[in-house]
Structure 1
């Protein structure tokens, strides 16, 4: 089997509106509806709608030989439903071809796997329910954790939830001399297959495509296909994982990114021995060659491929700790829709990403994605909203206890 697996992450967070200290206890709605709607419509027009149209044409043109996979976060599905139903329809049309795989993940695009197995499982169940709701009962077979975060412990939890395949980063410090272009198994659970991102070729498209200072600029289809042809014959799978917003948003249309993608599948099928497969197909047909050990969590972020993009400083760790101190109380309020919605949206990893204080190798990337002037502004705004949320949870818990006591009488 010589196959290429294209996987795209589709995600937009619910951004928090400017929330002042004096709003605590007074304003219980945290979300910047105007920004969220505006950004969703902008990205829909620049990326989601034109790229979905292009992929649909490629699948039909190649009669199903071209295949891709998506993980669409639950918070993104909520925004599609609210602000971009046309985008949701276009994804449904893609899935209906039978040549697109949808992956499972956490509903809130959250870091819950690092803190709570119970909350992690709840998040995954909620996400699967949303996928089934929006895509005619579709049941995901493959799992992708938030930002490809993975460890041996996470692998065990994912397998226990019923998944037999997971995606993660082909990080150098984990692979060593080994290649990401094989199927592996989890060291902690041999029945769990692990597909690793080839970050070199993936990032050539996702990050370097329009970089005029890159020695290999411009990236042409012929050049990329030649690199694929250079992959040793015994290496059977090439996993190209990237943000879907690469197309039209991070790499603008005038960079030629859409034309590149339109021509790529035909060139690969014509000039190489590679086919295209979904992650589930790679796992089904690929023979694992070895276990992969990941004792400390990895991700696909930054040069380090670790967790420091989200949990690398005191600001992030304080916010993260304060948030998950609420878990047990929030569980008691399962029937409170607003509490459950805000609990999910406050867990979204982007809030912690905005607090990152890296100013060197990856500082520009962090600044590009953040709506705040500084990480400290992000921390203050988040903690103000979280402080109000804490008050609401305490009051709701007290009211619930009082109602229960009165019922018992």
Structure 2
């Protein structure tokens, strides 16, 4: 007991000493290196330090970091490679060379360890590889007649149910043998965002598209279960605000214009509706609640809404968010990266509603990464991947 008390006292004295030194030296805000908690350092992997490797995209699906790259110089023929790293044990699971030799138009999805790859202008062919099997080669799967007319901007596979979405021609949902649903429609460019899929991806998902000034919603769980239509109003310039659908544990939440509607997952019935007198900038997930960033005339507010539509907490940010500022989300914290000239970023703790100033090195780019399977948020900052702020 005495030893434990002694250790705690020593620890507290060290903390007080560090804080005193920081205060005396004028280093009040935490630096980005001490504020974010890194779970992966990419410099430890040999391929990341190779000058021939040009990284094109970074994504995370179901806890697996996926890096796509192009390798090319005067003596080596261009190759497209995918690297798969398990964020739990930090193992490089596999390096795959793409059977498709052109990077533009590549779309991929990772589902239960199976990596699906296609070129959106040749959507009748899907290549599949098991990333957990080091010896597995790509298998080529030829799809059914008529599917080649789609050029999906987004492509997802969930338990072998495949979704082609954000296509100007429409979109479809199918498995590898038969259509589940097929809806062809002509969309103008500004309406393609209405042709989308709920996130995060779960066994039960909803697919939406715009038709006849209504948002048409279809729910799938191996087959089509229910459908719903929500009438939309055009803006003053004759267009529509884009819509998004959030897949919480207990219900679907549809965002359209500045409205949120909670829908029962089993039958699609409306459970609640909430309208905001402000422009919704973005929505995040936190403990099965929604964290909503709203702009009004001269301020930005953060509103936490429970899965039953009730406001839990709300707080104003220090200034109105505009194109000069960036917002990031990690666990229970919002990071606001203010314009480079000011160099004064800060965080909002959603549990306490407290603010804390931080310094972020502007020489390194921050990128928000959303795991569309688990619903977790990450940040890539320089060569590191972070999953929480401390």
Query: Shorter-chain TM-score: what band?
Result: under 0.3
Larger % of helix: which?
1
More contact order relative to length (CA 8 Å, sep ≥ 6)? 1
Larger proportion of strand: 2
TM-score by length of 2: 0.26
TM-score (norm 1): 0.25
